[in-house]
Chains A and B, each alone.
Chain A
Amino acid sequence: MIYSFLPKLNLLILSQLILVSISYAQGNEKKGTWVGSLESNSQYYFEDKSRMVVPPDQPFRSNTYLSIQYNLRSWTAGLQLESYLPNAILNMNPQYKGVGLGTAYINYKAKKADYTLGYFYDQFGSGLIFRAWEDRSLGINNAILGARIRYNPTPFLHLTTLGGRQRSGFTLSKGMLAGLNAELEVFPLIHKSNGSLTIGFSYFGRYESTYIADPNFKLLTNSFSERINYTKNNFFASVELVQKSNDAVINNLVSINNDFIKPGSAFLANMGYSKNGKGLNLVWRRLENMNFMSEREPTIYGFEQSGLNYNDKILNYVPAINKQHTYSLSNIYVFQAQKLVSIDPFANIGKAGEIGGMIDFFYDIKKGTKVGGKHGTKIELAMSSYYNLAGSYTLYPPDYSTSWITTGQEYFSDYSLEITKKFNSSLNGNLEFVKQSFNNRLITGAARVKIETSIISTRWWIKTGTKSSTKISFEHMWASSDRKNWVEGMIEYNFNGHFSAYASDMYNYGYDPDGDLIDHITDPFDIHFYSFGGTYKKGTFRATLNVGRQRGGLVCTGGICRYVPPSTGVGLSVIKVF
């Protein structure tokens, strides 16, 4: 790879010179266009004596991203500079250090083909075997450095081939990667115009040498995905089958064992029916040993702490499939998809994946009816349950065999009903009821706590003037164990469309030091998590300043999570798209 032979700074300057020279060399020809964005998220951590929270050695920390693209006719070149100075905000992937070039690429679009050299993002199918993407709040940027060609020999056949190595912080992981994706739209081929039928196939492979003298696994790990999607009128359905070849399994989050070699698989089915005013959607998914990374073993940072905790070097996207709630308390006991293998006789756990599904129902009670009122009423019902794979699990020797259909113990369930109603041009309301069950022992392997919750949440938007408005929310959660009950209130006032201020408090009460707790150490008392701040926004500029307490726990985006330690401090976030 070119990258490994060039010092970081030289590549930075080289890529900028490419951009600049494309821009200036065009002389009087049609000028190209620039797109860019700047995002900076900073935190200053305070000491909070009552919580016994001590700030880190460097209490000021900041993550900043400058992203620039230049487009000229069929050419696009871009780069992203990243700065984690004086250090990255707490508990980000430790690979993010200092300042450097995050990504850079050059792309050429021809009539039937698209060529990219440098870093690129992509996804095959639903991402179960490969997804490269960026999520700054989670510290994920697993772009691939290499080459990619997309080719459409006909308008209904889409081919992609790619190869390279994956980004890990400002370095590259060791695995050599190659992939192929094909999508065929069948109906145009057979001159059928009503509906759509697409067949997809993907291959993704990782080659990595090993320190193990006589490995029981092949150095090349292969994965395949076969898909079919069908849509006709109001009906749609899709099925995806995934296979991953035999590979060494990571146990206990840190290392592989040459005597524990297993294949992986996944099955994902989705179908739905929707017509104006109503929609039904069903999802069923089974995962078995679907952890797939660009290196077999994660970087180790301490006892049972590894790159896996920071989503480092992940190749595929395996999110939890359940409703992504918009209220705070519904996101305290949050489920992560169970793609890892864990056999721990001390905690009485044997698991190799998950099986379960989700049902969604959406209904619009029409305007002008008695219940619908003048503006209509929207109802959303979502139900999901996920279980361990039933089977037999042994630690000596490490092995398991699972059933394809039968469910084991339940990991998590989430049932919710959400009602949204506009009362008049000045008043909008939302009300949600949620019931969750969270089996902490089986999900995390730690404390033997199972939590049942009932949550009621409501949010109101009130227009107080042409451009001024107020947003108020109130939530309460009853929990059967752990830290027990929570209540939250929030008020936000928007002064003129540009400036808004908010204050919120999340209060946890009913803490019992002798109760069934997930964590006996952090904040061992009833506690207020207060927060207040303001936002200024104009066009594509936004700046937010806030002061408050951060609850220790998982922060999740798109079903992928990052652990955030308990902290108290002030935060500043600035975003500009230009």
Chain B
Amino acid sequence: MKPLKILSIILLCSCFAYGQQDMPSCKLLGLDGETYEVMGDFSVPDRLYVISFWATWCAPCIVELEELNDVYEEWIKQVDFTLIAVSVDDARTEMRVNSFVKGKGWPFIILKDTNQELKRRLGINDVPHVLIVKNKKIIYAHTGYTAGDEIELLETLKKYKS
């Protein structure tokens, strides 16, 4: 039976040669209590969307978003993009998200993925995890954060700007 198992896994993995990654569709709550559809509600043709998965308990996520907050106005002048910060806080800390975000003064669009449905559909294991999406296609992704990662993000945004 063992070779059968291995064969089936190889057969499965061979399919990865096909296709490229679309952004999946998912309904998430916004800070205003409204439901938003990713990416249906964020699908301006050729616009660049930076999607950052974060949580109130994730120190590197907060450092990364604070860093982006600091350079946001300057970057917007160079590349027109929209930053969507998707909180994966579950019921334990989800209630803190509204006050936390406002207390930080973040100007980003905030969505709540409370039971990690979008995170799971993208196969994301850990936060922080950052994507760049254009025309509903994922054109860049990185996981984890170390100081300086934002430079690569800006370079990628400039490379793909219309």
Contact = CB atoms under 8 A, between A and B. Distances in A.
Interface of A: 9, 12-13, 16-17, 19-20, 23-24, 31-37, 39, 66-71, 76, 81, 99, 109, 121-123, 126-128, 131, 133-134, 136, 158, 185, 195-198, 229-231, 234, 236, 238, 270, 272-281, 283, 317, 319-321, 323-326, 360-364, 375-376, 378, 380, 420, 422, 428, 430, 459, 461, 463, 465-469, 471, 494, 497, 500, 535, 537, 539-542, 558-559, 575, 577-578
A542 B129 CA distance: 12
Contact of B95 (A23, A283, A325, A375): A283
Nearest to B92: A319
Interface string B1-24: 100110011011001101111101
A360 B96 CA distance: 7
Nearest 4 interchain pairs by C-beta: A362-B103, A279-B99, A196-B33, A274-B102
A281 B94 CA distance: 11
Nearest to A539: B142
A376 B12 contact: no
A469 to B, nearest CB: 4
A68 B123 CA distance: 8
B15 A23 contact: yes
Contact of A497 (B24, B121, B148): B148
A279 B115 contact: no
B99 A326 contact: no
A330 to B, nearest CB: 11
A109 B126 CA distance: 27
Interface string B124-162: 111001000000000001111011110110000000000
19 contacts: A9-B1, A17-B8, A34-B21, A76-B24, A122-B115, A123-B91, A195-B33, A197-B33, A279-B98, A279-B99, A320-B92, A324-B92, A362-B99, A420-B66, A465-B148, A468-B148, A537-B144, A542-B143, A577-B123
A468 B25 CA distance: 37
B80 interface: no
Contacts of B35: 158, 185
B127 to A, nearest CB: 12
A57 B12 CA distance: 35
A31 B17 CA distance: 11
A326 B59 contact: yes
Contacts of B143: 537, 539-542, 575, 577
Contacts of A81: 9
A293 B99 CA distance: 33
Given A37-B125, A69-B123, A12 B8 contact: yes
Contact of A16 (B11, B129, B149): B11
Given A467-B151, A468-B148, A558-B92, A34 B63 contact: no
Contacts of A16: 8-9, 11-12
B146 A497 contact: yes
B147 A494 contact: yes
Contacts of A198: 33
B146 A35 contact: no
Contacts of A277: 102-103, 105
B118 to A, nearest CB: 11
B26 to A, nearest CB: 10
Contact of B144 (A197, A466, A542): A542
B93 interface: yes
Interface residues of B, number: 66
A37 B123 contact: yes
A324 B70 contact: no
Most buried by B among A34, A81, A198, A537: A34
A494 B25 contact: no
Contacts of A234: 102
B146 A236 contact: no
B102 A494 contact: no
Interface of B: 1, 4-5, 8-9, 11-12, 15-16, 18-22, 24-25, 31-35, 56-59, 62-63, 66, 70, 90-96, 98-105, 114-117, 120-126, 129, 141-144, 146-149, 151-152
Contacts of A122: 115
A121 B120 contact: yes
Given A274-B101, A321-B95, 10 more contacts: A34-B19, A35-B123, A37-B124, A71-B24, A121-B117, A127-B115, A364-B105, A380-B100, A577-B124, A577-B143
Contacts of B57: 324-326
Dominant secondary structure at the A interface: strand
B15 A19 contact: yes
A466 B21 CA distance: 31
A121 B5 CA distance: 26
Nearest to B143: A540
Given A12-B8, A20-B15, A35 B100 contact: no
Nearest to B147: A469
B33 A231 contact: yes
Most buried by B among A23, A76, A325: A23
A274 B33 CA distance: 14
Contacts of B18: 23, 31-32, 34
A279 B102 contact: yes
B104 A317 contact: no
A258 B69 CA distance: 58
B90 A34 contact: no
A341 B148 CA distance: 50
B148 A463 contact: yes
Nearest to A541: B143
A542 B41 CA distance: 32
Contact of B125 (A39, A273, A317, A320): A39
B111 to A, nearest CB: 14
Contact of B33 (A33, A229, A278): A229
Given A37-B125, A466-B151, A231 B101 contact: no
Contact of A275 (B33, B102, B114, B126): B102
Given A33-B21, A540-B141, A231 B4 contact: no
Nearest to A468: B148
B73 to A, nearest CB: 11
Contacts of A380: 100, 103
Contacts of A283: 95
Nearest to A196: B33
Contacts of B34: 196
A469 B148 contact: yes
Contacts of B91: 123, 126-128, 131, 317, 319
Contact of B70 (A71, A362, A375, A539): A375
Contacts of A185: 35
